[in-house]
A and B are shown apart, each in its own frame.
Chain A
Amino acid sequence: MKSKKYDGLTIFLFLLPAIILFVGILVAPLISSFVNSFFEYKGFGAKTPVQFDNYRRLFDTNETWFKPSVVHALILAGLSVFVQLPLSLGLALLLGRGIKGERFFLSVNFLPVLISTVVIGQLWLKVFDSNGMVNALLRMVGYLKEGEDNIQWLADNGSGILLYSCFVPMLWQYVGYHMLLMYAGVKSVPTELREAAKIDGATDWQVDWHVVIPSMKQIIKVSVIFAVTGSLKSYDLIRIMAMDLKVKDAAVPSTVLMDFMSLRQEYGVASAVSVMLILLCFFFAITIGAVFKERD
């Protein structure tokens, strides 16, 4: 009995540093954000309790851009899942077949992941600039006529184009990341399974569809969770491409949060946004997990 108690204490002491870090870095700020979300607070001075008013304001489109920002984040999540991930999967399957120059193509596709987001943002700003490469190309092929105004790919003018202009560099940057995850999955499929299918007369495509993809369901699940939660939390590329925290057409929860915290000094509302963001991420992570579990 004495020994068990001693063991318990030892375990607790060994866990203590991790517990302190976990509570101090993750739990305490979460609790603090949650508490602040019920106050009107400028970051200093007195806190005035406002009950659920900050949450009410989040859903009032005259007050905040939170509702459209969630819609934008979900559009990004949808594009990530239905455009980015299939592209990554396709590349992973292709490279997984052991094509010539496999290592080279793997490195090339993974390269954008290694480049700083700021650099990528600046690069694509030039591409989408009103006098940039995209408009020049459209003029060259005759889509834009002589004297016709340039298409404003980066304008926050209510057209909604900006959101899609922001998605392109996101796609470009992270397609290699998901490809690498999936490539590991493709490579982990036993060669015997592939060979057996081939002996049975399956084509490469049939092998991928019926053997490889079902075997890497767990990796696809992780990729989907990363893509969806990553889209909900997206900030850096949008901040760079939009050049303004007060962006509307490509507003996402994080830009709304920063607008309230940094520009408007409304820490209470910013905290409410952060609480909602965490809840959304949890909700989608659990839902995606459940969907994949059901399919199992």
Chain B
Amino acid sequence: MKKFLAMLLAIVAVLGLSACGKDDGLTMWCIATKSDSNRHSYEAAIADMEKKYPDTKLNWEAIENETYKQKIKAAVAGDNMPDIFFTWSCAFLGDFVEAGKVYCLDEAYKEFADKLPEKMCKNTTYGGKKYGVPLTMNIVGLFANMDILAEVGYTEVPDTYEKLIECCNALVAANKIPFGCAGKETWCVTEYLESIIEKSIGAKALDDIFMGKTTKASWDNADVAKAVDLFQTMIDNKYFDPDGVSLGNDAVKQNFIDGKYAFYMNGTWNCADFSKKGPKNVKVAEFPVIDATKSKLGQLIGGPSDTLAVAKSAKDAANTAKYTFELGQLICKYGYLDGCGLPAWTVDYDASKVNALTQSVAKIVTDSDYMVLFGDTAMPSDEAGKYLDQVAKVYTKQVDGAGFIKALKEGIR
């Protein structure tokens, strides 16, 4: 009897302790770790929210990108999701929505519709319903070290494809490396390849391929093959650093900062770093048009992808949804002011101190009329995997244009 009572007491004590650990506040998971360039925007936004809602405590946790993908999927699988969670738009969030784990934000959106343009919610709308709060958005930009370009007689970033090729030839002749691309991280290769394909076949055609709007056979496009061949011709012509195949993005980015390359194509989240660390004289532009009959300037790769979403299981989901919109708006504001991306939300504050590069990107986006989301974000993860496999082979010339479209036409189910 004594033993039984002791055990009973122990169980009560354990239950009591676990109850002590519970908190009535909201929980949030994101990827803004201490080394992440967006960390400050999260901290500042959360501080503002805690001031505004002192009774609502937000317990937030930041997890490294790749680990986060695993963790959130496991949480969805185990019905153990935080109230608010960071997600990428399109297919990544779409899987959770399809599984019925995400709270629909249509009602809450009504209150914020005047500050958050409908088009910014396009990538997180499924079956006509909104499920995500977009934060900042980014595009792929052609960053140019103007000091290196000046050495071969260019004072502006070449604005036509012909001029770009002339410029690259001049750079090669002067023993300069035009482009740096990290072959060890396939997403970096896509930044080049997708831009070249888009400016060859047009944004609408590429968007249709990525989003599977037509049949999967849309990969069977001779112009895509031609664009891939063109990219490989650029590699053959020594426009790319041959050491790039063995480098990761950090090394390539550092090489650009150190003045080893004239150009660097990558996401505009780099604006903040380039403004602070160099190169001294850097400009950003969009990749020039290759086939003017199919594409034009103003067609970009990128768009709103970083998103906050609310779990269906969230405490007081309706109010949590409103809280998430407010929080998202603030993260967007601070992220833009820090130069970590462009605002998905309307700017109703003084943004004159945003770095010049980010302001250039803002102008490019304002002048744009079509944005195609990054292929590996737009496509379902299994298809994205096969796509990235082929992209990696293109960079190392293990497959040519014809082989690329053939493999994707056959490989994507």
Contacts and interface: CB of A to CB of B under 8 A. Distances in A.
A259 B385 CA distance: 8
B398 interface: yes
Interface in A117-164: 129-131, 149-150, 152-158
A45 B98 contact: yes
B229 interface: no
A266 interface: yes
Contacts of A43: 73-74, 76-77
Please name the 5 residue pairs, one residue from A and one from B, whose CB atoms are nearest each other, closest first.
Answer: A44-B77, A157-B396, A264-B385, A45-B99, A130-B243
B411 A243 contact: no
B73 A265 contact: yes
A156 B183 contact: yes
Given A43-B74, A157-B245, A63 B385 contact: no
B185 interface: yes
Interface string A2-17: 0000000000000000
A263 B381 contact: yes
Contacts of B389: 246, 248
19 contacts: A43-B74, A44-B73, A44-B76, A44-B95, A130-B247, A152-B246, A156-B183, A156-B245, A157-B245, A158-B393, A158-B397, A242-B184, A243-B184, A244-B184, A246-B186, A262-B69, A265-B73, A265-B381, A266-B382
A265 B379 CA distance: 12
A264 B70 CA distance: 11
B385 A62 contact: no
B224 interface: no
A265 B76 CA distance: 13
Interface in B209-248: 242-243, 245-248
A42 interface: yes
Interface of B: 66, 69-70, 73-74, 76-77, 95-96, 98-99, 101, 183-186, 242-243, 245-248, 381-382, 384-385, 388-389, 392-393, 396-398, 407, 410-411
Contacts of A152: 242-243, 245-246
Contacts of A44: 73, 76-77, 95-96, 99, 101
Contacts of A45: 77, 95, 98-99
B382 to A, nearest CB: 5
Contacts of A150: 242-243
Contact of A62 (B183, B184, B247, B407): B407
B396 A156 contact: yes
Contact of A244 (B70, B185, B398): B185
Given A44-B77, A130-B243, 5 more contacts: A130-B246, A149-B242, A248-B393, A263-B385, A266-B381
Contacts of B101: 44
B410 A62 contact: yes
Interface string A242-271: 111010100000000001101111100000
A94 B219 CA distance: 62
A78 to B, nearest CB: 25
A129 B385 CA distance: 27
Given A62-B407, A243-B248, A158 B396 contact: yes
Contacts of B410: 62
Majority DSSP secondary structure for residues of B touching A: helix
The size bracket of the interface on A is 20 to 34
B246 A155 contact: yes
Given A243-B185, A244-B185, A259-B385, A129 B411 contact: no
A244 B411 CA distance: 21
Nearest to B70: A262
Nearest to B96: A44
A263 B411 CA distance: 16
B381 A131 contact: no
Contacts of B397: 157-158
B254 to A, nearest CB: 13
Nearest to A151: B246
B392 A246 contact: yes
Contacts of A264: 381-382, 384-385
Contacts of B246: 129-130, 152-155
A56 B101 CA distance: 32
Nearest to A244: B184
Nearest to A45: B99
B191 to A, nearest CB: 15
A62 B399 CA distance: 13
B145 to A, nearest CB: 20
Given A45-B99, A131-B243, A152-B245, A158 B385 contact: no
Contact of B186 (A42, A154, A244, A260): A244
Nearest to B388: A246
Nearest to A265: B381
B12 to A, nearest CB: 25
Nearest to A154: B246
Contacts of B247: 130
| Most-contacted residue by chain A among B66, B243, B247, B398 (CB, 10 A) | B243
Nearest to B184: A243
A152 B184 CA distance: 12
B164 to A, nearest CB: 24
Contacts of B392: 156, 244, 246, 248
Contacts of B245: 152, 155-157
A158 B398 contact: yes
A266 B248 CA distance: 26
B398 A157 contact: yes
Interface string A51-75: 0000000000011000000000000
A251 to B, nearest CB: 11
Contacts of B411: 62-63
A248 B101 CA distance: 35
Contacts of A153: 246
A177 B243 CA distance: 34
Contacts of A157: 183, 245, 396-398
Nearest to A269: B382
